[in-house]
Structure 1
Amino acid sequence: MHILMVLAHPLSDSFAASVASAAREALEQSGHSVDLLDLYGEDFDPRLTDAERRGYFDVPYDVSAVADIVARLQAAEGLILVFPQWWFNFPAILKGFFDRIFAPGVAFNHELTGGRIVPRLTNIRLFWALTTTGSPWWVVKLYMGNPVRRLLKRGIAAFCAKNVGFRMITLHDMDRTDEKRRKAHLERVRQAVRRI
């Protein structure tokens, strides 16, 4: 399987970068190919432009400003996102990735009668998120209702790809974790992706 792995963290020596590296290595050892898109490393601009917003309902929608990344997404069979959760949400650069790359004619089509959108990422069969959060699991799940998981699974994956295999692996309480827990989490990630 060819997988687009999207890393969203400003620090090249972050734990997220370690997660991406561990996952990539395990995937490649299992025979998969991985295209690593480091949003900060590749200086991705997350800002939706004036022209992109004004042309949102144009057919065809103009993706020329981000055509290289669109092509990488369209060439993939799987998508793995690697990012920290900040304020119970995506880093801004990852939100911008969705805004600019998951565009009309790429991730979905507008239904001609209006209202619904029609999934278009038929090439994507696997949609995973490998993430961390500074909060304990009970705050994320019980108090906040696991907003990132809901957004990814119900609001992005389900609307853009049909019958996609979704999974999210999270290290909670990251701000208070020790090296032993971080190593155990990296091994958990390796074991999970080896089963893809």
Structure 2
Amino acid sequence: MRILLVLAHPLQESFAASVARTAREALEASGHVVDLLDLYAEDFDPRLTEAERRAYFDVPYDTSAVADIVARLRSADGLVLVFPQWWFNFPAILKGFFDRILAPGVAFIHDAAGGRIVPELTNISLLFALTTTGSPWWLVQLYMGNPVRRLLKRGIANFCSKKLVFRMLSLHDMDRATEARRQAHLERVRKALAAI
């Protein structure tokens, strides 16, 4: 498989960067081709432009400003997202990736009758989210209702692809995680991706 591995963290020495390296190593060891898209290193601009918003319902929608990344997504069979959760949500740069790259004509098309959007990411057969959160499990799950998982699974996965394997691996309470817990999480990531 060809995997687009998207990293959304500004620090090269971050734990998220370690997760991305581990994911890449596991995937490549299993024979997959990995295309690493480090949003910060590639200076991705997450801002939807005025022109992009005004043309959102045009057919075809103009993705020329992000054509390189759109081409990388279209050539992938799977998408692996690596990011921290900040304020129970995505980093702004990853939200901008969704806004600008998962665009009409790329990830979906608008139903002409005004109904549900039609999934267009038929090339993507798996979506993995590898994430961390500073909050403990019970706060994310029980109090907040795991909003990031819900948005990825019910929103992006279901609205962009008809049949997709979705999995999310999270390290909770990251700010207090010991080195042993961090290493155990990296091993979890390694095993999960080696099984693809």
TM-score, normalised to structure 2's length?
Answer: 0.99
- Please give the alpha-carbon distance, in whole angstroms, between the structure 2 residues aligned to 1:168 and 1:147: 12
Note the alpha carbon deviations across 1:143-195, whole angstroms, 9 max, x for none. 00000000000011100001100000000000001111101110110011000
Which residue of the partner structure matches residue 23 of structure 2? 23
Q: What is the SS of the residue equivalent to 1:103?
A: coil
Q: Does 1:153 align with 2:136?
A: no
Which residue of the partner structure matches residue 127 of structure 1? 127
Which residue of the partner structure matches residue 113 of structure 2? 113
Q: Give the unaligned 5+ runs of structure 1.
A: none
Which residue of the partner structure matches residue 104 of structure 1? 104
- Please give the alpha-carbon distance, in whole angstroms, between the structure 2 residues aligned to 1:132 and 1:175: 9
- Please give the alpha-carbon distance, in whole angstroms, between the structure 2 residues aligned to 1:172 and 1:29: 27
Letter in 1 for 2:63: V
- Please give the alpha-carbon distance, in whole angstroms, between the structure 2 residues aligned to 1:27 and 1:59: 36
Which residue of the partner structure matches residue 8 of structure 1? 8
Residues 3-82 of structure 1 correspond to what in structure 2 (within 5 A)?
A: 3-82=3-82
- Please give the alpha-carbon distance, in whole angstroms, between the structure 1 residues aligned to 2:181 and 2:24: 20
Q: Does 1:180 align with 2:180?
A: yes
Letter in 1 for 2:16: A
Equivalenced residues, count: 196
- Please give the alpha-carbon distance, in whole angstroms, between the structure 1 residues aligned to 2:22 and 2:125: 21
Q: What is the SS of the residue equivalent to 2:9?
A: coil
Q: What is the SS of the residue equivalent to 2:145?
A: coil
Question: 1:116 Cα deviation (Å)?
Answer: 1.3
Note the alpha carbon deviations across 1:16-64, whole angstroms, 9 max, x for none. 0000000100100000010000000000000000100000000000000
Q: Give the unaligned 5+ runs of structure 2.
A: none
- Please give the alpha-carbon distance, in whole angstroms, between the structure 2 residues aligned to 1:194 and 1:177: 24
Q: What is the SS of the residue equivalent to 1:96?
A: helix
Question: 1:126 Cα deviation (Å)?
Answer: 0.4
- Please give the alpha-carbon distance, in whole angstroms, between the structure 2 residues aligned to 1:163 and 1:69: 22
Question: 1:115 Cα deviation (Å)?
Answer: 2.9
Note the alpha carbon deviations across 1:51-99, whole angstroms, 9 max, x for none. 0000000000000000000000000000000000000000000000000
- Please give the alpha-carbon distance, in whole angstroms, between the structure 2 residues aligned to 1:84 and 1:2: 24
